[in-house]
Amino acid sequence: MGSKLGVNIDHVATLRQARQAAEPDPVHAAVLAELAGAQGITVHLRHDRRHIHERDVELLRRTVKTRLNVEMAATDEMIGILTRIRPDMCTLVPERPEEVTTTGGLNVIDHEAAVRSAIQALGGAGIRVSIFIDPDEAQIRRAAELGCRMIEINTGRYAELVPADLEHAPAAAWEEYERIRQTARLAVSLGLRVLAGHGLTYRNVMPIAMIGEIEELNIGHNIMARAVLVGLERAVREMIQLISD
Ligand code: PXP
């Protein structure tokens, strides 16, 4: 059956913010990703607004035709913004100001109160709530107990252990893969829908896509990295044509 694809377009906003310019616009990127067949668009609205801004989420809310998923920390500020904008779905993630990207799943056992109130507030506004979580049995059981109906399993450690293909990866990579498979199965048996993501690439994605319980993969960095390279030649040719005519 295969997995659906949610495309994370944060990097388009990162490039825009590198010049604090108007382009490239993540809204345009979302349109192209959907035209190419993406089944969802994901952005992370961070406290420091380093890439995606509220304006982007507002416009994406009005333009995305598939499913808009906003990653967010479980804070009052984010709950206020997102219950106003009402994306289709929010994914609760841990957020540390100094991190380059999300590191590790949200510890729902340590942050039970914040998770519970985020699920209630967002759910009350008609927003589906998912939690980004490590492939850990205790964490997944607690997420289900807290009323969560959907999780995104963190594949970050798997991706670190599998830079190329799983077949030639060390035993630790196979163990991590097995952990993801088992916890996906457990989650479904607890009534949860299961997504996965972080660090997935064109090289290491296949074994994860083959896990039947995982409905959808969220991929950002590697798709954007490839887009820059496969699109560069055409962009240069177009500029040469423009200035040489
Ligand atoms: N899932 C979550 C919760 C994330 O925070 C990210 C990165 O923003 C991704 C998936 C996508 O990870 P990557 O950019 O490595 O594909």
CA of 3 to the centre of ligand 1 (A): 16
The one catalytic residue among 11, 34, 51, 71: 71
- Give 244 Cα–ligand 1 centroid separation in angstroms: 41
Residue range 81-91: mean pLDDT, rounded: 98
pLDDT at 96: 85
Which one-letter DSSP state was computed for residue 68? E
**Of 71, 129, 195, which is best to mutate to test ligand 1, by the most ligand atoms within 8 angstroms of its C-beta?**
71
- Which ligand 1 atom minimizes the distance to the CA of 221? 14
What is the C-alpha to C-alpha distance for residues 39 and 5, in angstroms, rounded to an integer?
6
Where exactly are the structural domains of the chain?
4-244
Q: How far is the CA of 131 from the centre of ligand 1 (A)?
A: 13
Ligand 1 atom nearest the C-alpha of 8 is 11
- Which residue out of 176, 198, 215, 216 is catalytically annotated? 198
* 198 is known as an active-site residue: yes
- Ligand 1 atom nearest to CA at 159: 15
112 an active-site residue?
Answer: no
**For atom 15 of ligand 1, which residue has the closest CA?**
199
Residue range 208-218: mean pLDDT, rounded: 98
Cα separations (Å) of 32 from 22, 89, 128, 203? Answer: 17, 20, 24, 23
- Measure Cα distances from 90 to 16, 64, 148, 225 in Å: 24, 15, 12, 25
* pLDDT tens, residue by residue, 157-212: 999 999 998 889 999 999 999 999 999 999 999 999 999 999 999 999 999 999 99
Can you give the pTM of this predicted structure?
0.96
- Mean pLDDT of the residues in the chain: 96
Element (H, E) at 159: helix 156-161
Give the model's confidence band at 230: pLDDT under 50 very low, under 70 low, under 90 confident, else very high: very high
Residue 1 has what pLDDT? 64
Pocket of ligand 1 (CB under 6 A): 8, 10, 44, 71, 91, 93, 101-102, 132, 152, 197-200, 218-222
Mind listing the pLDDT tens digit for each residue in 95-104? Answer: 988 888 888 9
pLDDT number for residue 169: 92
Find the 101 Cα to ligand 1 centroid distance in Å.
8
Per-residue pLDDT, 25: 98
Residue 75: predicted pLDDT: 97
pLDDT at 240: 98
Pick the CATH number of 4-244 from 3.10.350.10, 3.40.50.720, 3.20.20.70, 2.70.98.60: 3.20.20.70
Reported as a single tens digit per residue, the pLDDT across 30-82 is 999 999 999 999 999 999 999 999 999 999 999 999 999 999 999 999 999 99
The one catalytic residue in 11, 34, 44, 216 is 44
Instruction: Name the pLDDT band for 217 (thresholds 50, 70, 90).
Output: very high
- Asked if residues 41 and 34 have their Cβ atoms less than 8 Å apart, the reply is yes
| Whether 47 is catalytic | no
Give the Cα separation of 126 and 122 in Å (integer).
7
Distance CA 37, CA 21 (A): 28
